[in-house]
């Protein structure tokens, strides 16, 4: 049986599609939102705002239970959030397991080569899209 490995081009295309889907989700909920085409190390992936809150997102998806985030991406996200007086989140989607979860940077695990986010932390500490756009603060019981 032939392996179904994706090429780097296919992976990038899939990532762009997830970013575009998320931008559409924001727009469908009365947010102004845009995907930064030159996203990656030097820019966050998505800006979204509704007049009450401004959000800056780094979008990550994974077929496994672990998402990795480069240190430079976290630094860039923090810097943009401070300069725009915005809230910074990792928009995490564990494919075939969950819907979008929005996780504050403080909940990322620190590693030698960068940061990571596991599925359980995203589910426990992250918030749903509806919680994010309604600006709700929810206490999670562990």
Q: Show the domains of the chain with their CATH numbers.
A: 8-133 (3.40.1350.10)
Question: Which tokens go with 133?
Answer: 């756009």
Mean pLDDT of 90-108: 94
Mean pLDDT of 87-111: 94
The whole-number pLDDT of residue 82 equals 97
d(CA 105, CA 89): 6
d(CA 64, CA 122): 13
Active site residues: 39
Strand partners, 68: 116
Question: Which tokens go with 137?
Answer: 């603060």
Whole-model pTM: value is 0.87
């Amino acid at each position: 049986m032939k392996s179904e490995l994706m090429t780097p081009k296919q992976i990038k295309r899939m990532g762009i599609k997830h970013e575009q889907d998320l931008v559409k989700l924001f727009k469908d909920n009365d947010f102004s939102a845009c995907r930064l085409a030159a996203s990656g190390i030097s820019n966050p992936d998505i800006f979204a705002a509704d007049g009450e809150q401004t959000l800056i997102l780094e979008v990550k998806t994974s077929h496994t239970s672990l998402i990795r985030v480069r240190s430079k991406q976290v630094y860039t996200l923090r810097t943009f959030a401070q300069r725009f007086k915005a809230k910074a989140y990792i928009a995490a989607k564990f494919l075939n397991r969950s819907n979008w979860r929005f996780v504050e940077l403080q909940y990322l695990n620190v590693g030698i080569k960068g940061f990571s986010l596991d599925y359980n932390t995203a589910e426990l500490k992250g918030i749903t899209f509806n919680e994010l756009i309604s600006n709700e603060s929810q206490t999670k019981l562990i």
